[in-house]
Amino acid sequence: MTPLDPADLTARLIRCASVTPAEGGALSLLQGVLSDAGFDCTRVDRGGIANLYARWGTKGANKAFGFNGHTDVVPVGDAAAWTQDPFGAAVVDGWMYGRGATDMKSGVAAFAAAAVDFVRTTPPDGAVILAITGDEEGEAEHGTVALLDWMAAQGERMTHCLVGEPTCPDEMGEMMKIGRRGSLTCWFTATGVQGHSAYPHRAKNPMSALVQLMARLEAEPLDQGSAHFDASTLAITTIDCGNPVTNVIPARGTATVNIRFNDLHSGASVSDWLRGHAAAVAAKTGVAIAARISISGESFLTPPGALSALIARAVEAETGRVPVASTSGGTSDARFVKDHCPVVEFGLVGRTMHQVDERVEVAQIHQLKAIYGRILRDYFA
C-alpha cells in the first residue's frame, strides 16, 4: 500500500483557512483520511469549537500511544506583506509556505501519516490515538480540554502522549519539551483621589502607587530557578490611566503583569505573592489596589524517564542529534494532557511560526514522519 505523503497532507491542511476558532475543513479532511485507514473517528465539538478524536485499536487498551495537536492557526496579519498566498501551500526552493505550515499543520500531518502507515503495516497490540483540536491558538477552553473530558466520560485513555508542537529552535532534532512553565496574568486597578497636579498633597495619586508596586515586583525575583526550570519571569506589559490632560491627577489607573513561573510555585502561591505586594503598597500610599488574576496554566514536569528516552532514541536515529530535554518557551496543550498521562513534546523547527511568510522545509516534514513512525514501532515492540 502506498505510504501516506505527509507533505501532501500538510499542503491540503494549509489550504483549509482554519483561523481560530474556524474549523475551515481541516478536521473534516483528517477525519476522512483516518477513517479510510480504519480509525474510529468521533467529532467532539463543544462551545462552537471543532475537535476530532480518532482511535485505531481497542478501547481502554493497556498500551495506547497518543498524539495531540491542533489545526487552528493565528490570523494572517498583513496579507500584502506575504510573498506567497498564506493559504496556498506554495513550495519555493524546498520550503512550503502558509499560515500553520510550522505551527502546526505539518506536525499534525506527520503524526497522522506515521500513524496510518504504522497500523496498516504493523498492526499493534494496543491502540493508537489522535486527539486533534481546533482551539489551541484561541481561548483553549473547548479544545483539548473538551477532548480529555469526553475521553474520561467514555472510558477512553492514552497511556502516553506526544504533543507535536514545534520544539526545535534552529536545527531539526535539537530539543524536546518535558515540561512547561505556568502562566499567569494580573490586572491591577488602583483607585485614589483625583486632584490638581499643582496640589498633589490634596490628592491620592494611583499612578504613583502603581509605579511603586511595579518597582517592588521587579525588585524581588520569585526564585533563581529549579532543577529542570530557569528562573520564573515577570513582565510589566502596560501601565495606563487614559488621562488626556497634564494638570489633573487621575482618580484611577491600571497596570498589567504577566508571569511565567516554574515548578517551585503554583498559580495560587504566585497570586498570593502579588496580592501581598499590592496590599503593602496600598497601606503605604492610601490608594486602594484591586487585583484580578487569570491563571492560564500551571507549571508541570514529566520527569526524564522511559517516554523521553524513547523519543530521544528515535530522534537521534533519524537526525543524528540527541535532543535536549527542555522546559523553555510558552504554554501548550501539554498543560492539559499532563493530568491524563505522561506527556512530552517534540516537533519541527519553529523559527517562522506566527510570522509573515511562515514556512516549513519540506524535507523536514518527511523526517518528522519518520521519527514519529519509529517512536510507534519502538513503543509497541
Q: What residues act catalytically? A: 72, 136
Q: Which residues contact 350 (CB under 8 A, 6 or more apart)?
A: 102, 103, 165, 166, 167, 168, 169
CB neighbour burial string for 116-144, b if at least 16 within 10 angstroms, e if fewer: bbbbeeeebebbbbbbbbbbbbbebebbb
Cβ pair 132, 41 in contact under 8 A: no
CB neighbour burial string for 79-115, b if at least 16 within 10 angstroms, e if fewer: eeebebebbebebeeebbbbbbbbbbbbbbbbbbbbb
Measured in whole angstroms, the distance separating CA 60 from the mean position of its chain's CA atoms is 27
Measured in whole angstroms, the distance separating CA 200 from the mean position of its chain's CA atoms is 46
Cβ–Cβ contacts within 10 Å for residue 52, how many? 25
**Residue 12 to residues 34, 67, 113, Cα–Cα distance (Å):** 14, 20, 13
- The packing angle between helices 267-285 and 206-219, to 10°, is 130
**Residue 220 to residues 140, 273, 289, 298, Cα–Cα distance (Å):** 32, 10, 19, 21
Half-sphere exposure of 77 (CA within 13 A, CB side): 14
